[in-house]
Structure 1
Amino acid sequence: MKKIVLFASGNGSNAENIIIHFKNSNQGTVVGVFSNNLHAKVLDRAKSQAVPTFTFTKSELNEGKVLEELQKIQPDLIVLAGFLLKFPESIIAKFPDKIINVHPALLPKYGGKGMYGRHVHQAVLENNEKETGITIHFVNEHYDEGEFIFQKAVSIENCQSADEIALKIHELEMEHFPKVIESLIE
């Protein structure tokens, strides 16, 4: 049984979807949810699914405490599901090709520092894009530059707001993210 660890900073609907997807799986299970936000809803979602949680500060992330906890668990895959901090190179080096992220756009467009959530959707809207989508990629030392694993596009020609775009992206994430994770741990 493969061990999956999730990192999230906010609401946690993607994380919860992944937890539920793997609840009855014989391939993998979510063994922990890590968050840098003590008040993140993802912590409540994880606890309601009986998944252990671990909270930390930005300095604990960068100074090795999080790496220590991960080395105790030895996850087969680390999944960033709405995690807003830059992942430290020290963790990336210890878990090469075992850390993935979902980005709410078709990279390489609309990636990089500060490009997350609503910021991405607003930029897509302001540039009058006809489509956008999701990119699931490996995490490296640069924001949103790791090797692509999966992309899925969706038409946004009828979208009038960043919120409408966000709903379409969320649907793609909910449908595809757990399946891509499953394919990686098989």
Structure 2
Amino acid sequence: MTKKRIAIFASGSGSNAEKIAEHFATNPQVEISFILTNNPQAGVIARARRLHIPVVVFDRTTFYHSPRIIEFLQNQHIDLVVLAGFMMLIPEAMVQAFPNQIVNIHPALLPKYGGKGMYGHFVHEAVVAAQETESGITIHYVNEHYDEGAIIFQATCPVVSTDTPEDVAKKIQVLEHKHFPEVVEQLLNA
């Protein structure tokens, strides 16, 4: 059986990338081939080095106006692209090159609290401000619009009236770390 190859895109600290890498560390059938980032200061770079995963840093111009990233992924025979806290809209050409092979995790229950500008603490602040009684995560396929691809999986957590956005963020991160690696594995095995 051919080894499945994953490329993870991340812009921030990389805790989800690390959890996914740890999940597959003892699985000889899956390889985290690369971590790609648009942020040369991203915490994910240090995590990747610690995990001995090669890192590719790219800029906005390369991502949006050159075929280099798509060609790189194709040449590396990537089976699944995983967005783990990646803050850029995926170009339509990349969505077309990897149909139903790009997945994202969103820190809310889509379709609520999605779209441009809705990431990280902005999502949790909106959930608390709206006095929601629950929030959660959504893992979805990526299309050419922010947070509009087909939903693969959702998990919820309660939000109580005394929760701050930081409290909600902690609950969401627990769900992310628990479920994202498992869903990625299910997708690879489908």
State the TM-score, normalizing by the size of structure 1: 0.98
| Distance (Å, rounded) in 2 between the aligned partners of 1:144 and 1:22 | 26
1:167 aligns with 2:170: yes
Which residues of 2 match residues 74-113 of structure 1 at below 5 A? 74-113=77-116
1:69 aligns with 2:64: no
1:35 aligns with 2:64: no
Which residues of 2 match residues 142-153 of structure 1 at below 5 A? 142-153=145-156
CA RMSD in angstroms, aligned pairs only: 0.9
Which residues of 2 match residues 119-130 of structure 1 at below 5 A? 119-130=122-133
- Residue 47 of structure 1 corresponds to 49
CA deviation after TM superposition for structure 1 residue 158, in Å: 5.0
SS of alignment partner, residue 183 of structure 1: helix
Q: Which amino acid aligns with 2:27?
A: S
CA deviation after TM superposition for structure 1 residue 159, in Å: 4.4
Runs of 4+ in 1 over 2 A off after TM superposition: none
Aligned residues: percent identity?
Answer: 47
Q: Which runs of 5+ in 2 are unaligned?
A: none
CA deviation after TM superposition for structure 1 residue 74, in Å: 1.8
Asked whether the equivalents of residues 159 and 165 of structure 1 are also in contact (C-alpha less than 8 Å), the reply is: no
Asked whether the equivalents of residues 27 and 182 of structure 1 are also in contact (C-alpha less than 8 Å), the reply is: no
SS of alignment partner, residue 44 of structure 2: helix
- Residue 155 of structure 1 corresponds to 158
| Distance (Å, rounded) in 2 between the aligned partners of 1:175 and 1:41 | 20
**In structure 2, do the counterparts of structure 1 residues 50 and 159 end up closer, same or farther at CA, with 3 Å as the change threshold?**
farther
| Distance (Å, rounded) in 2 between the aligned partners of 1:132 and 1:29 | 32
State the TM-score, normalizing by the size of structure 2: 0.96
Aligned residues: 186
